[in-house]
């Protein structure tokens, strides 16, 4: 009958004796003469140093020390983890792969898969946007104290504002008109106004192609300080040659001065009738201007002509006007200068 060996470990084999004893992590750190929570690099360095110290294995003490060092190293590096048999259910095949393989793919691959999915969605979005989005062929920007007619003003119940897009399609023959209103006013919400001011910088830089600007006095002057307004003198002369004074009475020329002190026609003032209210862009000060960055001002000029020709119709849709007196723009026209000089002489 086979006897069970209950004897003590053979003292002649110290390595086997040391390995048979379990070590805690704290004990292993102490055996490697370390402190705290050493990282892998520190453990490897100290293990190599101790191996050099006890390299003479003919000495029984060195053999014992090496056995302890090896066991401590295995504890700290995880090399002595007990073998755990695989769950048989993980070997079950699903769609040609084992459950174990699918689990590893999910565990290690979900981040790359998510990144690929997001990039794919972004590419699809860009392609779709490029395929469906048409560039605007006419753009009007209103910058200043212009208000949302439905939220900010009390208007007549019977008021029927015109759609600017439909108007541009009919009068200009464009296919994809657009417009934007940037409320820049002391009465505006602070965050909304700040966002509008930042967007205005894009307009001033020419980053947004714009045919016609509708501005208040403050923004008229701001753009003028940067010499961003086109001189409309020649254009207005063609208007005077085409329409009579009665037709132009609500379309007043506004003269400003450039950096050299020369006067030029910077805008057309339609504040008297607040004509642009007809499109739901409501404001007390209304100046129509064209940027010098606009290389094709023909559509803008055609738009202004249409306002003159359709004024009677537009006035039926103006609705309630803002009860404020528009600020008069400084008149730098030659006629005005001559009048002021004559008045000063008479005094």
- Helix H, strand E, coil C: the string for the chain is CCCCCCCCCCCCCHHHHHHCCCCCHHHHHHHCCCCCCCCHHHHHHHHHHHHHHCCCCCCHHHHHHHHHHHHHHHHHHCCCCCCCCCCHHHHCEECCEEHHHHHHHHHHHHHHHHHHHHHHHHHHHHHHHHHHCCCCCEEEEEEECCEECCCCCCCCCCCCCCCHHHHHHHHHCCCCEEEEEEECCCCCCHHHHHHHHHHHHHHHHCCCCCCEEEECHHHHHHHHHCCCECCCHHHHHHHHHHCCHHHHCCCEEEEEECCCCCEEEEEEECCCCCHHHHHCEECCCCEEECECCCCCCHHHHHHHHHHHHCHHHHHCCCCCCCCCCCCCCCCCCHHHHHHHHHHHHHC
Q: Are residues 286 and 152 in the same domain?
A: yes
pLDDT of residue 92: 78
Number of domains in the chain: 3
- Examine residue 253 and state whether it is found in any structural domain, yes or no: yes
- Examine residue 125 and state whether it is found in any structural domain, yes or no: yes
Q: Are residues 180 and 301 in the same domain?
A: yes
For 268-292, what is each residue's pLDDT tens digit?
999 999 999 999 888 899 999 999 9
pTM (2 decimals)? Answer: 0.56
Q: Are residues 119 and 142 in the same domain?
A: no
Q: Are residues 167 and 239 in the same domain?
A: yes
- Examine residue 7 and state whether it is found in any structural domain, yes or no: no
pLDDT of residue 258: 84
- Examine residue 120 and state whether it is found in any structural domain, yes or no: yes
Domain range for residue 331?
138-346
Q: Are residues 116 and 21 in the same domain?
A: no
d(CA 345, CA 332): 19
Q: Are residues 67 and 146 in the same domain?
A: no
Q: Are residues 173 and 243 in the same domain?
A: yes
Q: Are residues 337 and 297 in the same domain?
A: yes
d(CA 335, CA 152): 40
Q: Are residues 117 and 248 in the same domain?
A: no
pLDDT of residue 233: 95
For 122-146, what is each residue's pLDDT tens digit?
788 767 665 655 678 899 999 988 8
pLDDT of residue 101: 79
- Examine residue 88 and state whether it is found in any structural domain, yes or no: no
pLDDT of residue 267: 96
pLDDT of residue 296: 87
Q: Which two tokens stand for residue 228?
A: 């961003």
pLDDT of residue 55: 82
pLDDT of residue 84: 55
pLDDT beneath 70, residues of the chain: 1-21, 79-86, 90, 126, 128-134, 148-159, 187-188, 323-347
pLDDT of residue 132: 56
Q: Are residues 146 and 128 in the same domain?
A: no
d(CA 201, CA 218): 15
Specify burial of residue 182 (Cβ count, 10 A radius: 0-12, 13-18, 19+): buried
pLDDT of residue 18: 39
Q: Are residues 177 and 51 in the same domain?
A: no
């Amino acid at each position: 009958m086979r006897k069970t060996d209950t004897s003590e470990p053979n003292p002649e084999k110290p390595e086997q004796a040391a390995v048979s004893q379990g070590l805690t992590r704290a004990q292993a750190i102490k055996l490697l003469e370390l402190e705290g929570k050493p990282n892998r690099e520190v453990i490897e360095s100290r293990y190599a140093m101790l191996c050099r110290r006890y390299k003479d294995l003919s000495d029984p003490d060195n053999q014992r020390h090496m056995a302890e060092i090896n066991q401590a190293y295995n504890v700290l590096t995880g090399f002595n983890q007990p073998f755990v048999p695989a769950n048989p259910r993980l070997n079950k095949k699903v769609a040609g792969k084992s459950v174990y393989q699918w689990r590893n793919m999910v565990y290690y691959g979900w981040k790359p898969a998510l990144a690929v999915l997001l990039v794919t969605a972004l590419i699809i979005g860009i392609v779709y946007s490029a395929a469906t989005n048409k560039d605007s062929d006419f753009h009007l920007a209103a910058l200043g104290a212009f208000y949302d007619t439905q939220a900010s003003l009390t208007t007549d119940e019977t008021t029927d504002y015109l759609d600017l897009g439909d108007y541009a399609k009919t009068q200009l023959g464009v296919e994809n008109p657009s417009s934007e209103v940037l409320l820049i006013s002391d009465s505006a919400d602070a965050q909304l106004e700040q966002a509008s001011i930042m967007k205005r910088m894009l307009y001033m830089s020419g980053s947004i192609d714009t045919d016609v600007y509708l501005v208040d006095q403050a923004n008229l002057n701001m753009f003028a300080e940067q010499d961003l307004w086109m001189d409309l003198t020649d254009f207005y002369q063609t208007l005077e040659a085409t329409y009579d004074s009665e037709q132009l009475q609500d379309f007043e020329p506004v003269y400003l001065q450039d950096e050299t002190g020369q006067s030029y026609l910077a805008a057309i003032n339609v504040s008297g009738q607040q004509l642009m209210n007809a499109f739901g862009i409501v404001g007390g000060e209304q100046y129509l201007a064209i940027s010098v960055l606009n290389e094709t001002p023909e559509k803008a000029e055609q738009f202004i002509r249409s306002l003159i020709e359709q004024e009677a119709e537009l006035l039926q849709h103006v609705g309630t006007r803002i009860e404020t007196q528009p600020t008069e723009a400084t008149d730098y026209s030659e006629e005005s200068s001559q009048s002021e000089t004559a008045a000063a002489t008479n005094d």
